[in-house]
Structure 1
């Protein structure tokens, strides 16, 4: 799967937008766009939404390519409930592919009380 930066660059080039033109439309610097495309920096949520709009992409589609782990959220979850830490360690030990993990998550739908069906 392409990274977020690769997806942005690919789509920008498909639309025949130069890096400078894209940066100008986003009211940011060309080096910032270059850093995003090379994975050295990541855009804020509002910037990502504007990028998606300019690139004529659905925001959800572009977010699929964001490979950053939500570290703050994972840390908060594991501190509040050690069961999450065990679940994450088990996930790592099993070496599931992203597709397998998403399949598992999509198969288990929460019941109204918060448990699994």
Structure 2
């Protein structure tokens, strides 16, 4: 599941909206919407994301949060480490090989550590 998929499901369930009803309102298939929620589809187009924001009737901070989550929700990432230090390539390859074996707590720790060390905010 992607960060955006988890948030969409949370908003939909909190409002008691079925997957089928939301898909119909957005003029997409329920299979597509399910795949988006489960992370089997990449991030939606900007147009569809704006329709989702309107569908949920969210404004300002929550709309910005959905946009931020969409940017961080590509389930098939490619990382080019050409020209970087060897440790960057090793880290990338180790993550690719082992990410499925890490538990959620370890993933949160690593994510927060990368964010902290890069000097960037998660927001």
Render the CA deviation track for 1:88-109: whole Å, top value 9, x for unaligned: 235456x9711011111126xx
Q: Which stretch shifts more, 60-69 or 25-34?
A: 60-69
Structure 1 length-normalised TM: 0.61
How large is the RMSD of aligned CA atoms in angstroms? 3.3
Task: Report deviation, 1:20.
Answer: 1.7
- Equivalent residue runs for 1:75-90 within 5 Å: 75=80, 78=81, 81-83=82-84, 86-89=86-89
Task: Report deviation, 1:61.
Answer: 4.5
How many residues get paired? 100
**Structure showing greater relative contact order (alpha-carbon pairs closer than 8 Å, 6 or more residues apart):** 2
Q: Which stretch shifts more, 96-105 or 47-56?
A: 47-56
Identify which of 67, 73, 77 aligns with 1:66: 73
Unaligned runs of 5+ in 1: 108-117
Task: Report deviation, 1:14.
Answer: 0.7
Structure 2 length-normalised TM: 0.59
Larger radius of gyration: 1
Render the CA deviation track for 1:43-84: whole Å, top value 9, x for unaligned: 43322343244232323353376262531xx33xx3xx4216
Is the aligned partner of 1:32 residue 2:26? no
Task: Report deviation, 1:28.
Answer: 0.6
Unaligned runs of 5+ in 2: 95-105
Identify which of 102, 110, 114 aligns with 2:115: 102
